[in-house]
Amino acid sequence: MIRSRKIRLDEEFPEIVTLCGSTRFKNQFLKVQKELTLEGKIVISVGLFGHADKEAEAWKNKKILDELHLRKIDLADTIYVIDVGGYIGKSTKLEIEYARSKNKEIRFYSQEQK
């Protein structure tokens, strides 16, 4: 069931960041999630690490999970792309394009991490 939500967030509300990228980079997802949380941001991440954890459930439900991730992008002010070594796969590329179409700020791990 889809519910219509109308939430008004005042200027004091923390920035919302959705993490995107290949789930093979689990350690980097967890690192960035921690860093952004400690910066006072609300962080939305993936629910399963299909690549890293070899989770069969992730692959069985990929279509549903991909659509759910777009809704997570809808909620965000910014997406943070976990692109270790500049790697951006097909799904992540689509998420970046979607975020751009929604005028979301886009940050890249490869440009910010040392």
Give the separation between CA 64 and CA 61, rounded to whole angstroms: 5
Look at residue 58 and tell me if it is in a domain: yes
Name the residue among 44, 21, 27, 19 with its Cα closest to residue 90.
Answer: 21
pLDDT of residue 51: 52
User: What is the crossing angle of helices 90-101 and 62-75, to 10°?
Assistant: 30
pTM (predicted TM-score): 0.86
Look at residue 77 and tell me if it is in a domain: yes
Look at residue 36 and tell me if it is in a domain: yes
Amino acid type, 75? L
7-35 pLDDT, tens digit per residue, is 777 778 899 999 999 988 999 999 999 99
Total domains present in the chain: 1
Output the average pLDDT for the chain. Answer: 86
Question: Which structural domain, as residue segments, surrounds residue 89?
Answer: 31-109
